[in-house]
Amino acid sequence: MILLKNATLVHLHPAEVIPGVDIVIDGTEIQSVGRAAGEGLKPTRSIDLAGRVVMPGLVCGHDHFYSGLSRGIMATIAPCPDFVSTLQNLWWRLDRALDADTVRLSGLVCALEAVKAGCSAVIDHHASPTFIDGSLSTLKEGFEKAGLRGILCYETTDRNGRDGARKGVEENQRFARLVEEEKKRSGKQRLVEAMIGGHAPFTLSDEDLTALAEVVARSGRGFHVHVAEDSFDSSWSHRLHGKDALARLNDFGLISESSIIGHGLYLTEEDRKILNARGAYMAHNSRSNMNNNVGYNSALPHVKNVVLGTDGIGSDMLLEAKFAYFRHRDSGGPLGPGAFMRFLQSGNELLHRSFGESFGKIEKGYKADLVVLDYDSPTPLMRENVAGHVIFGMGSRDVNTVIVNGRIVMENRTFPWDVAPVYAEAQAAARLLWKKMDRL
């Protein structure tokens, strides 16, 4: 049992600020919350937070831990005048260069970085075409070593031939089975769940979609895919299949309330109607969209379920929320800061749909996934202005302690094990990876 004393409880959406509360954690869940809730208890750990902010842990709704060794990349990258050449010249060379060891290191450093930024969970979309079989288990080990919760999938694609597509489907199926077995064995103790992944409609044939739909139906897991990130995906779908990109996926039964659609910039109005009717989630990644110059998703106000993701640019969700808000303002959009808190909160609903447990509130019976911040507020912090504090102030620099599944995974900005060798190993591996890319 862990007792957090004298916390300032903050919920982002619906907004709430309650100073002076105790939070009692028993096992993987919150047992009680309130003034003097810990009185008379004999916890194994008692931590006086002296008024520090405690929030539900942040959730990244769309990420790529395979890109962890690409920061500051010094491989030779040919000019990328459009989106598809960016994929061909950079990302598809990087993912082909990954092997078991670089997937392991990339995943582990990304998991550590996510915890440092206040994340308690990351929903990942993985690719490593020369190391497919077992890749999700390798990634899972990194999540578990860092203590981070995750939902993993393999992004099936036919860009490396029929055999590559088949192996992608099989890895999703294998991993979903493994997670299902673990669920039966260890229940609430498990940290990692599965989704079924596809890269994007323009690299998935009808045969691939049929195979993926079978795995989705058999596993009971949702589908995670990029759709209409660039106009190319939409044009390709019309040219080859005579359908809108999302409508095509829907025809295969792949769009449900457990699905995540990455980006969705070029969804048609009909596509958005399907997305909303099915209750699926759209992952919005504003920094990635700006970096790839694919345009802006001005339809955010018309999508029912929006979650924020980083698309591989770290997992700093407090920063991502700021970019998402400022880019929206820059486009003349109508949404205020509060809408972006709702988008942040949506990640917890996705966790609920995958794990079947309660996430995203500091209340009895909810999972003990929490972040403690050293937020020195220069102005009053109140229910009415929480969103303003997040957009204009609170940052990952304030993250002090992270608790996931009732376990303290980072305390006072320190992991309970020496992470320095991991970073050293990752730096050495990154150099070799970049050299390998130059030969591909």
Residue 262 or 360 having the CB closest to Zn ion = 262
Angstrom distance (rounded) from CA 75 to CA 162? 28
Return the residues of window 26-65 that contact Zn ion according to CB under 5 A: none
The dihedral through the CA atoms of 381, 382, 388, 391 has a sign that is positive
Return the residues of window 264-293 that contact Zn ion according to CB under 5 A: none
Residue 124 or 158 having the CB closest to Zn ion = 124
- Cα 368-309-164 angle, rounded to 5 deg: 105
Return the residues of window 117-146 that contact Zn ion according to CB under 5 A: none
Tokens of 378: 């220069």
CB of residue 179 vs Zn ion: minimum separation in angstroms? 21
Q: Which stretch binds Zn ion (CB under 5 A): 205-213, 310-318, 364-372, 428-436?
A: 310-318
Maximum separation of any 2 CA atoms in the chain, in Å: 69
HSE of 422 in the Cβ direction (CA atoms, 13 Å)? 19
- Cα 324-325-331 angle, rounded to 5 deg: 90
CB of residue 208 vs Zn ion: minimum separation in angstroms? 18
Residue 311 or 320 having the CB closest to Zn ion = 311
Residue 197 or 262 having the CB closest to Zn ion = 262
Residue 311 or 349 having the CB closest to Zn ion = 311
Query: Judged by CB under 5 A, does residue 262 bind Zn ion?
Result: yes
Q: Which stretch binds Zn ion (CB under 5 A): 105-113, 262-270, 327-335, 416-424?
A: 262-270
Angstrom distance (rounded) from CA 281 to CA 261? 6
Rounded-to-10 torsion of CA 113, 226, 135, 152: 60
CB of residue 261 vs Zn ion: minimum separation in angstroms? 11
CB of residue 125 vs Zn ion: minimum separation in angstroms? 5
**In this chain, which residue has its C-beta nearest to Zn ion?**
311
Residue 38 or 262 having the CB closest to Zn ion = 262
Residue from 176, 161, 180, 265 nearest 212 by CA: 176
Q: Which stretch binds Zn ion (CB under 5 A): 5-13, 200-208, 255-263, 336-344?
A: 255-263
Contacts 24+ apart (CB under 8 A), 392-396: 394/53, 394/318, 395/318, 395/319, 396/116, 396/117, 396/118, 396/316, 396/318, 396/319
Q: Which stretch binds Zn ion (CB under 5 A): 246-254, 260-268, 325-333, 420-428?
A: 260-268
Pairing state of beta strands 370-373 and 53-56?
antiparallel
CB of residue 226 vs Zn ion: minimum separation in angstroms? 5
Burial of 253 (0-12, 13-18, 19+ CB in 10 A): middle
Q: Which stretch binds Zn ion (CB under 5 A): 212-220, 244-252, 305-313, 370-378?
A: 305-313
Residues found near Zn ion in the complex (CB under 5 A): 262, 311
